[in-house]
A = this chain, B = another copy of it.
Amino acid sequence: MLNFKYYSPTSVIFGNDAVDKLGKQIAPEVKTVLFHYGGGSIKRSGLYDQVQSILKEKQVKVVELGGVEPNPKLTLVREGIALCREHQVDLILAVGGGSVIDSAKAIGIGVNYEGDVWDFFVGKAQPSSCVPIGVILTIPATGSETSPNSVVTKEEGLMKRGVKSDLIRPAFAILNPELTLTLPEEQTFAGIMDILSHVFERYFTTTTPVDVTDLMCEGVMKATIENAYKLRNNPNDYDARSEIMLAGTVAHNGILGVGRLEDWASHRIAHEITALYGTTHGVTLAIIFPAWMKYVSAERPDKFVQFAQRVFGVSREAFTDPAELANEGIRRFEAFLSDMGLPKSFKEAGLPADQLDLMTEKATLFGALGGYKKLEAADVKGIYKMAL
């Protein structure tokens, strides 16, 4: 185990009565709230009205900024920063999925920064303050409700980049699984792929031994996969929605990754597909992960052997060759993706194959990727090719 620091101070309020508790989470000293959200779904569901009514009761001034798109855009972040400065906002309330939360975080760190907020995303500056952030989550996927991460897309040049700082971990996160009962199928299963990916990025490591966290990772993966099947059979299964929502938070609050080298190559490789084609984040992960697994497992099958056995219950006895055992785990994961209706390749997703060089160049702009196996540009292109 490596030395580490772990800090996850977000208050998680979970359950079918969680939104009712919003008022209690807003500190008495809060005077002005930026109510940040996406499109019309929270208006149709009644959540918008419920939030407005609670904020009115708390007698805080409400500044609204809707219109966050999937893969949140820098232009709207800048608009949010201007609004916060103008109205002296002291709480940003993000109501929605990961895009809304990531947009709120980016706004939060930009408000008291004199330079351009994009500086944080290209490593030119480190956040030194953030307006407190509250969350009402409507899509379990990114884990942004407790994570220290924000990913934003700069429209100019289609650059999708992230920032990481403990300062942007939300103060509170309200998680009501009922809000997810009506999610469209693609959002449900792309979200589940996103959740699994956050475990994968931690699980596939060269650090050994990491017994406690490996077993916890495997538990979260198994519970996620099992409950994904339940939702495939019955999207209205509140219990399964609850397990997925909890898994989404645990997968990315950091506890599964303590004391180990993490990977994150697949995220960077997948990001470039979204940046070019606007493909849903979780879908790009379904496209890239099987290819990444096959590519790196060919060189280092050890952790994939464990994955096959412990997550998918593949019997060691059935395979004399460890590489074949590892491949069987990857095959079962691919079968899971198919069962969930997710594309596992560019072809299945209907994406063109003619921009691999551009994507490779952008993904490796700041150097090699990954931890389990270090990936140079040629490796990254190899993974894109395997994913065609």
Contacts and interface: CB of A to CB of B under 8 A. Distances in A.
B258 A1 contact: no
B15 A4 contact: yes
Given A3-B15, A8-B8, A246-B259, A220 B216 contact: yes
Interface in A211-246: 211-216, 218-220, 222-224, 226-227, 239, 242-243, 246
Given A211-B226, A212-B219, A214-B219, 7 more contacts: A1-B14, A3-B14, A5-B14, A7-B9, A7-B10, A8-B9, A215-B220
Nearest to A220: B212
Which of the listed residues A9, A209, A218 has the most CB atoms from chain B within 10 Å of its own CB? A209
Given A247-B212, A255-B255, A14 B4 contact: yes
Interface in A198-220: 209, 211-216, 218-220
Contacts of A10: 7
A319 interface: no
A59 interface: no
A75 interface: no
Contacts of A215: 218-220, 222-223
Interface string A279-317: 000000000000000000000000000000000000000
Nearest to A166: B11
A76 interface: no
Nearest to A6: B12
Nearest to A13: B5
Nearest to A10: B7
Interface of A: 1-18, 209, 211-216, 218-220, 222-224, 226-227, 239, 242-243, 246-247, 250, 255, 258-259
Nearest to A15: B3
B5 A246 contact: no
A59 to B, nearest CB: 24
A14 B18 contact: no
A308 to B, nearest CB: 17
A17 B3 contact: yes
Contact of A219 (B2, B8, B216): B216
A336 B6 CA distance: 31
B243 A209 contact: yes
